[in-house]
Chain A
Amino acid sequence: MATRITIDPVTRIEGHLRVDCEVTNGRVSNAWASGQMWRGLELILKGRDPREAWIFTQRICGVCTTVHAIASVRSVEHALHLEVPLNAQYIRNMLIAAHAIQDHIVHFYHLSALDWVDVTSALKADPKKSASLAQGISSWHLNSVQELSAVQEKLKGFVDSGQLGIFTNGYWGHPAMKLSPEVNLLASAHYLQALDVQRKANMIISILGSKTPHIQNLAVGGVANPINNDSPSTLTMEKLFHVKTLMDELGNFINNVYVPDVCAVGAFYSDWTGYGAGVTNYLSVPEYPLDTKCTSFALSGGYIPHGDISQFRPIKTYQDEFFIKGVSESSKHSWYKQDGDRHPWEGETDPHYTDFQDNGKYSWVKAPTFNGAPAQVGPLANVLCLYAAGHAPTKKYADKALATISTLAGKPVGLGALHSTIGRHAARAIRTAVLNEVIQEQWQLLINNIGTGDTRTFNKPEFPKGEIRGVGMHEAPRGVLSHWVVIDNKKIKNYQCVVPSTWNSSPRNSKDQPGPYEASLIGTPIADPEKPLEVLRTVHSFDPCLACAIHMVDKEKKAIVTVKAL
């Protein structure tokens, strides 16, 4: 007899996600992922000037502002075959790499670490043992006994005051928590340090994007950053060298704290390499364009079917029809009127709510497919595709991380272990280390290009009469993002966003195949159905972001939504 668990909402994510599981004999036997908010952004954009769309799309979500702005300008540029000046490419590349680095660090420490790290256990740690453990795997200057003792005192103050604040929702003392007090203390210290470090990525975005959280410097055709070394209001060498300092500080944290921490958590929880694989068709798009026509990229994209990297098929440019023709969306199990599979350019958004039907419609998220099959997107897909493509930095960081995990775990852990819940965390850390190299390279390319006397940052778009279509691709922190625009006589006729969490939190598709979250939960052991920590571990490993961002304060009704089993 199966026990039904409903987690509604899943916490520590952006947006409103409901997950239902049936548990039989201590393991998940069936699962449903349901997006509980409806966005009608597509409807807002119809009839508008395509040059303005990015200003609206960056308001979709509080976390992914930059991401939706970039995908939007790219979609219009793609429709116009508009070239983007080199300086603009490099500035955009640095912006999106900084955003991704910030997002990955925040995801590991602030959104998911508490699934694995027991903060209350850290109070029992011996700071000396923690420090010597840390010094074995990293040279980070804040792993000292003094620093760790100070963190422990601070945590004690919080626990004693009864106000755990942000730590309130943890499953403290859960039987699935396995780290020693010393490792818990180390991770808690890095949790606090990461809060400070992530600000540095934000400062880069603020300098280049003119403002955060909503950047102001984008334009269809380039960026609005004048480059002029004589005017302090423009992008000067002084500002660019400040950016360099910030990048170096981020790199230090990534290589000496984030990556070693993920390796340690992976080694201590190596049983989690056996759970959470789910859909192993992986999709990724090319990122960090290096020329004005977007034909050459720092990182290739591609597709891997059935987890077999020998079948890797690269996606090399924004013109690649393998991607453009391969994407479609089904609403068979989603709360929309349309039933069949549709290409995003033909997509419609007519809501049709039916309540939660296990075998019918149960989500506001549509079910995207790639060449008819569900696909997983995100850092794991990106890393596996780059590994398959022979990308040297990816191979270097992946092999190094797997070697560290193997040493700490005392047994060999290979590339195949990445197809798992904990593997998604490892892949995200590997990707962050790669992005640290990318952002440094983009900075150097920008400096070199300005040095040649090229200060161009913008090409004016000219809109033809009649209908044109474009797709804006972006390998975002959570994976493949695509904005699909149809422009008719200079106005937007149709606009569809196929976001990374649409791929991963997809409900069943037109062939009733489950989406990645759903498939990944099958077989997961559940120690206590009342406290389904294991479900959260797997769902959080995808870095869910069901953007919608209603956040109205409600003094009248204390609970806006019902919470079961959490």
Chain B
Amino acid sequence: MNVLVMGIGNLLLQDEGAGVRVIEEFERTYQPMGGVELLDGGTSGIELLYYIQGKDVLILIDVVRCGYPWGTLSRFEGADVPALFQQKISPHQLGISDLLATARLTDSLPKKIVLLGIEPKCIDTGLELTDEIAANIGRLSGMIADELTALGLSVTPRGEKLCVTTIL
């Protein structure tokens, strides 16, 4: 089984970058598994088609505003995911909605699509997550591990936290 776990968002807009931060956290916490690819998708769109093609499962991580308290985690699956990205009229018009539509057009849409979301607090210019969101990044990373486990893929926590320095 081929799985793509992709965090999306803009690191320059505080909580907007949460999806990407979760990927970094997951890489620090868990051992990489065969068949599972982790990707920092940033704010890209159609370029990501290259990574989606040939995948059976796509797990997306993004900020999702549902009107819940800051930091609340949410999970969507199947047709809800493209519908959710399509509903909004996003300033980022070349985003995930077009990516999924294009994947469908080229018969490369993964059979299973899951979106793991987190409720953002602040999306102003800045590099740091707000405390409320930062406090929940570990739990969101754990949700990725749970998804992979449910797919029958082994997920091994790293024995010790590796000292991985990321510049961002």
Contact = CB atoms under 8 A, between A and B. Distances in A.
Contacts of A52: 167
A196 interface: yes
A214 B43 CA distance: 10
A496 to B, nearest CB: 15
Report the interface size class on chain A: 35 or more
Contacts of B65: 552-557
B43 A549 contact: yes
Contacts of B46: 106, 110, 195, 198
Interface centre among A65, A165, A192, A561 (most CB of B within 10 A): A165
A560 interface: yes
B63 to A, nearest CB: 5
B10 to A, nearest CB: 5
Contact of B62 (A60, A203, A552): A552
Interface stretch (B91-99, B129-137, B154-162): B91-99
B49 A195 contact: yes
B62 A550 contact: no
B42 interface: yes
A387 B105 CA distance: 39
A214 B115 CA distance: 22
Interface stretch (A33-41, A129-137, A434-442): A33-41
Contacts of B92: 14-15, 62, 548-551
A563 B89 contact: yes
Nearest to A165: B101
Interface stretch (B25-33, B118-126, B144-152): B118-126
Nearest to A198: B46
A229 B78 CA distance: 46
Contacts of B50: 199, 202-203, 206, 212
B42 A213 contact: yes
B42 to A, nearest CB: 6
A39 B88 contact: no
A55 interface: yes
Contacts of A106: 46
A240 interface: no
A68 to B, nearest CB: 11
B58 interface: no
Contacts of B49: 195, 199
Nearest to B92: A551
A235 interface: no
A43 interface: yes
A46 B98 CA distance: 35
A14 B85 contact: no
B117 interface: yes
B57 interface: no
A555 B91 CA distance: 15
Interface stretch (A5-13, A288-296, A305-313): A5-13
Given A195-B106, A561-B91, A553 B64 contact: yes
Interface in B67-90: 67, 84-85, 87-90
A165 B82 CA distance: 10
Nearest to A559: B89
Contact of A551 (B9, B84, B105, B115): B9
B17 to A, nearest CB: 8
A459 to B, nearest CB: 21
Contact of A9 (B44, B62, B93, B120): B93
A555 B115 CA distance: 13
A558 interface: yes
Given A9-B89, A59-B11, A62-B95, A192 B64 contact: no
A554 B106 CA distance: 27
Contacts of A241: none
B104 A165 contact: yes
Contacts of B123: 550, 552
Nearest to B40: A214
Interface string A137-158: 0000000000000000000001
B143 interface: no
Given A165-B105, A192-B105, A558-B87, A213 B47 contact: yes
Given A11-B93, A195-B106, A549-B10, A65 B62 contact: no
A560 B12 contact: no
Contacts of A36: 91
Given A59-B42, A560-B88, A195 B66 contact: no
Interface centre among A15, A44, A549, A556 (most CB of B within 10 A): A549
Given A551-B10, A559-B88, A55 B167 contact: yes
A196 B13 contact: no
A365 to B, nearest CB: 14
B48 interface: yes
Contacts of B94: 12-14, 62-63, 111
A56 interface: yes
A44 B102 contact: no
A556 B168 contact: no
B104 A12 contact: no
Given A9-B89, A16-B91, A552-B63, A213 B13 contact: no
A552 B10 CA distance: 9
A14 B65 CA distance: 21
29 contacts: A9-B91, A14-B93, A15-B92, A16-B91, A36-B91, A37-B91, A44-B127, A56-B127, A62-B42, A62-B43, A62-B45, A62-B94, A62-B95, A163-B104, A165-B102, A195-B105, A199-B49, A199-B53, A206-B50, A548-B92, A550-B92, A551-B10, A551-B91, A552-B16, A552-B63, A554-B64, A555-B87, A556-B67, A559-B88
Given A12-B93, A61-B43, A551-B90, 18 more contacts: A9-B91, A15-B91, A15-B92, A37-B91, A39-B12, A41-B125, A44-B12, A62-B44, A195-B49, A195-B106, A213-B44, A552-B63, A553-B84, A553-B117, A554-B87, A554-B88, A555-B67, A555-B84
Interface of A: 9, 11-16, 36-37, 39-41, 43-44, 52, 55-56, 59-63, 65, 102, 106, 110-111, 158, 163, 165-166, 192, 195-196, 198-199, 202-203, 206, 212-214, 548-561, 563
Query: 9 shortest A-B CB distances, which residue pairs?
Result: A62-B43, A551-B92, A40-B125, A549-B43, A165-B101, A16-B91, A213-B44, A166-B101, A556-B67
